Amino acid sequence: MDVVIWSRIQFAMTAAYHWLFVPLTLGLALVMAVMETLYVVKKDEFWKKTAQFWIKLFAINFAVGIATGIILEFEFGTNWSNYSWFVGDMFGAPLAIEGILAFFMEATFFAVMFFGWNKVSPKFHLASTWLTGIGATISAYWILVANGWMQNPVGTTFNPDTVRSEMASAAAFWEVITNPVAVSKFCHSVTSGWVTGGIFVVGVSAWYLLKRRHVEFARKSMLVGAIVGLVGSGAVMLSGDSSGVHAAEFQPMKLAAAEGLEDGGNGAAFTIVPGIKIPHMLSLLATHDWNGYVPGINDILNGYTDNEGHVIPSVAEKMEMGRKALDALAVYRSTEDPAVRADALEVLNANVQYMGYGHLEKAEDVVPPVGVVFWAFRLMIGLGMLIALVLLLVLIAIWKDKLGAWKWLLWAAIVCIPLVYICGQSGWVVAEVGRQPWTIQGLLPVNVAISSLSAGAVKTTFFIFLAVFALFLAIEIRILVRAIGKGPEVEPENI
């Protein structure tokens, strides 16, 4: 395998691993902040002890999230050197803003939250707990602005003098930070974190109830967890809907792959699993129009006319225009003759929209691995709905006082803990595998985004990181399980 593949595998592994820790951070932060607020408002020590227990678990999880976050930041440079230059003008800004605005907030107030119980006033402590979570959420926003731009590169233009995409005006910057893809991605990711945190709290509490330990603690934690999780589930569904519309608009190939749609058309059907289809549903979801046109893989390869009447050229035509742009760029950069440069610039500007396609070898390269994206999409939706259902039932059980009777529900809640992670990972597989071969949609394919390294070097670091990640995950799970086994320091009661 070559350096492109190894670079991709290494980055995918780091990102997937990082996403094991981030959603729980986002979700638990909200749960424990709510609990501590109850303590400060009600002045009830019970809520203090309850919040402290979940903060303890939060801290164990938080450390690995930080450790893996810095690897991602560095890997943009170490493994994606061309990418770093090509997008640095746009991409670096959100990353730096994330550091200045979010990371310092998280780092500073996490320390106060963790060590400060007897050092600062309860209100200052409560503010610190909220600020830790708010910092994490702001951080998610800025990194998803960067990711959203890679899916839908708005607000930048290619500058042949610097050979990169650049932002040129306040309006462009505004476009970047309000990119609809970034906004719905942010809502989708953060609220999926709430679901993760919610179901984690519900599942752990369910285990205590099954063991008849810390019953009061478990019931009340469960209520907070279920509410946070269910609110999250609702928001995930809403933002998921707009993610679908955006995919149809900006990344039709991703949508076609996610649906396994070879040939599209008007009033396209939604495939639940192969063989079971709901007529018109895909058009409705993707275009919010019963008869909207949704292109399939072949339509995109061969060219089509979209819902606004724009004629979209075939991939072969785009590749031809892309090559013209690249050739013109090479001429523009290698001569001093003003007349030749002016001509080259004209050709470049006429074709620059498809410059990324000039790097492709064959038209089929624009098709991502359909099977992977198709099934990941179904896994995400299926598990997401299952988890929402379990959360709803838990709330009903609490309301009807059936927690003791519905043991199967407690078991289901525990099973949902690993499932919510599979669900979140599947979502990212759809988002990231679905946009292959592009690092930046339409502008820069992965094979041109890399660093000039040997496959052996990247392979070596891949296995080093793999070993480190496996070790940390094993330690993290062992410590979490022990901490849960030990339980909170509140008075045990019986049902």
Partner 1 sequence: MTYEFLQNYWWVLIALLGGLLVALMFVQGANLHLGNRALNDTQKRMVLNSTGRKWELTFTTLVTFGGAFFASFPLFYSTSFGGAYWVWVLLLLSFVFQAVAYEFQHKKGNLLGVKGFRVALMANGLLAPFLVGTAVGTFFTGSDFTVNKVAITDPSAPVISTWGNNWHGLEALGQYHAVLLGVTLMFLAAILGALYILNNVDDETIRAQMRRSIKMSIGPFLVAFLFWTAILFARQGYAVTPDQVVYLEPFKYWHNLLAMPVVLVMLLSGVVLLLYSLYLGAFSKSLKGIWFAMPGTVLVVMSVFFLAGFNGTAYYPSCTDLQSSLTLDNSCSSFFTLKVMACVSLLIPFVVAYIAYAWRAMDRKKITEEEISSGENKY
Q: Which of residues 157-216 bind partner 1 (CB under 8 A)?
A: 159, 162-164, 166-170, 172-173
Tokens representing 132 are: 């830790």
Residue/partner pairs of 308-316 with CB below 8 Å, 24 or more apart = 313/354, 314/363, 315/357, 315/360, 315/363, 315/366, 316/363
Closer by beta carbon to partner 1, 17 or else 207: 17
Does 472 sit near partner 1 (CB under 8 A)? yes
Owner of token pair 């609110």: 231
Contacts for 303 with CB less than 8 Å, ≥ 6 apart: 311, 312, 313, 314, 317
CA atoms within 13 Å, Cβ hemisphere of 396: 9
CB of 407 closer than 8 Å to CB of 473: no
Q: Which of 450, 459, 488, 490 forms a contact with partner 1 (CB under 8 A)?
A: 450
Closer by beta carbon to partner 1, 326 or else 416: 326
**CA 214, CA 209: separation in Å to the nearest integer?**
7
**CA 325, CA 357: separation in Å to the nearest integer?**
10
Q: Which of residues 1-40 bind partner 1 (CB under 8 A)?
A: none
- The CB-of-477 to partner 1 minimum distance in angstroms stands at 9
Q: Which of residues 297-356 bind partner 1 (CB under 8 A)?
A: 326-327, 329-330, 333-334
- The CB-of-62 to partner 1 minimum distance in angstroms stands at 8
**CA 431, CA 336: separation in Å to the nearest integer?**
43
Segment lying near partner 1 (by CB under 8 A), choices 36-44, 107-115, 381-389, 404-412: 107-115
Segment lying near partner 1 (by CB under 8 A), choices 186-194, 288-296, 392-400, 457-465: 457-465
CA atoms within 13 Å, Cβ hemisphere of 368: 32
Q: Which of 1, 405, 422, 471 forms a contact with partner 1 (CB under 8 A)?
A: 471
For the CA atoms of 145, 147, 152, 157, what is the dihedral angle to 10 degrees?
Answer: 80
Q: Report residue 494 CA to chain centroid gap.
A: 41
Does 154 sit near partner 1 (CB under 8 A)? no
Segment lying near partner 1 (by CB under 8 A), choices 199-207, 224-232, 402-410, 476-484: 476-484
Burial of 235 (0-12, 13-18, 19+ CB in 10 A): middle
Q: Which of residues 352-411 bind partner 1 (CB under 8 A)?
A: 359, 361
Segment lying near partner 1 (by CB under 8 A), choices 41-49, 68-76, 193-201, 221-229: 68-76
Q: Which of residues 251-290 bind partner 1 (CB under 8 A)?
A: none
Closer by beta carbon to partner 1, 231 or else 483: 483
- The CB-of-417 to partner 1 minimum distance in angstroms stands at 19
Segment lying near partner 1 (by CB under 8 A), choices 95-103, 203-211, 263-271, 375-383: 95-103
- The CB-of-106 to partner 1 minimum distance in angstroms stands at 8
| Cα radius of gyration rounded to whole Å, the chain | 25
Size of the site for partner 1 (CB under 8 A): 95
- The CB-of-143 to partner 1 minimum distance in angstroms stands at 10
Does 100 sit near partner 1 (CB under 8 A)? yes
Owner of token pair 């590169």: 153
**CA 175, CA 148: separation in Å to the nearest integer?**
11
Closer by beta carbon to partner 1, 236 or else 360: 360
Does 88 sit near partner 1 (CB under 8 A)? yes
Q: Report residue 19 CA to chain centroid gap.
A: 8
Q: Which of 90, 209, 257, 413 forms a contact with partner 1 (CB under 8 A)?
A: 90
Q: Which of 79, 147, 152, 189 forms a contact with partner 1 (CB under 8 A)?
A: 79
